[in-house]
């Protein structure tokens, strides 16, 4: 079974430029998450989708960040414009429906803003 | 939202059993306890999950007392490749990550 796939794996951009990350969750997983992880810290939830609906986006900086999950499958996370402080790893994760199920993470997209 | 407290770091020699304890005093009735392992440059990887008592798989054991306010991850006979950050999380659909426990296995 294929895991959570993310791209790009690494991205270096100049500040004020836009950037987008793509995530393909595990087939059949209804719940999709985007987390951000800064160096030396645990992942921080940005947004959670149940199918195509964003059910928890309270931590998403909405002035510059946006996300979508069309047709309840793939998802994209966009930052526009990027700031130096956005340098981090952006992790996508997915989970099947029901209770007590495991959340599976992708390898992450490493963003460096210079 | 139940948060967790775990040691920031631990060191262990190869071949020893390592126990990492996590406190989660505000755990809710519906919450599960899940442990993840994270290596540098990788996403967190699921290790084990439990609701109560003891759970064991091929990688680790998880001990949960009756009051469920804490849990202990037990790694038998650790090797150098077990050096990683270990996260204890409590919840169901939503998982809150703390800073984790950085385990260093020494030869």
Which residues of chain A are within 8 Å of residue B34 when distances are taken between CB atoms?
102-103
Which residues of chain B are within 8 Å of residue A43 when distances are taken between CB atoms?
44, 97
* Token pair of B77 as six digits: 């006979």
Interface check B94 vs A, CB under 8 A: yes
pLDDT digits (tens, 9 = 90+) for B74-87: 999 999 999 999 99
Task: Give residues with Cβ within 8 angstroms of B97, minimum separation 6.
Answer: A35, A42, A43, A44, B44, B87, B89
Nearest chain A residue to B101, by CA: A42
The CA distance from B34 to the nearest CA of chain A, in Å, is: 8
Residue A101 has pLDDT above 80, yes or no: no
Q: Look at B94 and A42 and tell me if their CB atoms are within 8 Å.
A: no
Would you state the pLDDT for residue B97? 85
Q: Look at A42 and B98 and tell me if their CB atoms are within 8 Å.
A: yes
Q: CA A74, CA A83: separation in Å to the nearest integer?
A: 25
Query: CA separation (Å) from A64 to A2, A33, A79, A104, B18?
Result: 31, 18, 6, 27, 43
Residue A100 has pLDDT above 80, yes or no: no
Residue linked to tokens 């008592």: B53
Residue A93's Cα: distance from chain center in Å?
7
Domains of chain B: 9-106 (2.60.40.10)
Concatenating the DSSP letter of every residue in B45-70 gives EEEEEESSEEEE-SS-EEEE-TT-SE
Beta partners for residue B90, in sequence order: B33
pLDDT digits (tens, 9 = 90+) for A23-68: 999 999 999 999 999 998 999 999 999 999 998 888 899 899 999 9
Domains of chain A: 5-113 (2.60.40.10)
């Amino acid at each position: 079974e294929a895991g959570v796939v993310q791209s790009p794996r690494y991205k270096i951009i100049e500040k004020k430029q836009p950037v987008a990350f793509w995530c393909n969750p595990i087939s059949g997983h209804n719940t999709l998450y985007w987390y951000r992880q800064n160096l030396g810290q645990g992942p921080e939830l940005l947004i959670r989708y149940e199918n195509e609906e964003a059910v928890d986006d309270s931590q998403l900086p909405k002035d510059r960040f946006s996300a979508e999950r069309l047709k309840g499958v793939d998802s994209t996370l966009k930052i526009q414009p990027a700031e130096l402080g956005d340098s981090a790893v952006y992790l996508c994760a997915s989970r099947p429906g029901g209770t007590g199920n495991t959340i599976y993470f992708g390898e992450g997209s490493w963003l460096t803003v210079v | 939202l139940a948060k967790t407290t775990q040691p920031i770091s631990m060191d262990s020699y190869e071949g020893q059993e390592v126990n990492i304890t996590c406190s989660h005093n505000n755990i809710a009735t519906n919450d599960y306890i899940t442990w993840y392992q994270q290596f540098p440059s990788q996403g967190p990887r699921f290790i084990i999950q439990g609701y109560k008592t003891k759970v064991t798989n091929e990688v680790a054991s998880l001990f949960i007392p009756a009051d469920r306010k804490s849990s202990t991850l037990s790694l038998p006979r650790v090797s150098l490749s077990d050096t990683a950050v270990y996260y204890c999380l409590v919840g169901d659909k939503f998982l809150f990550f703390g800073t984790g426990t950085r385990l260093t296995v020494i030869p």
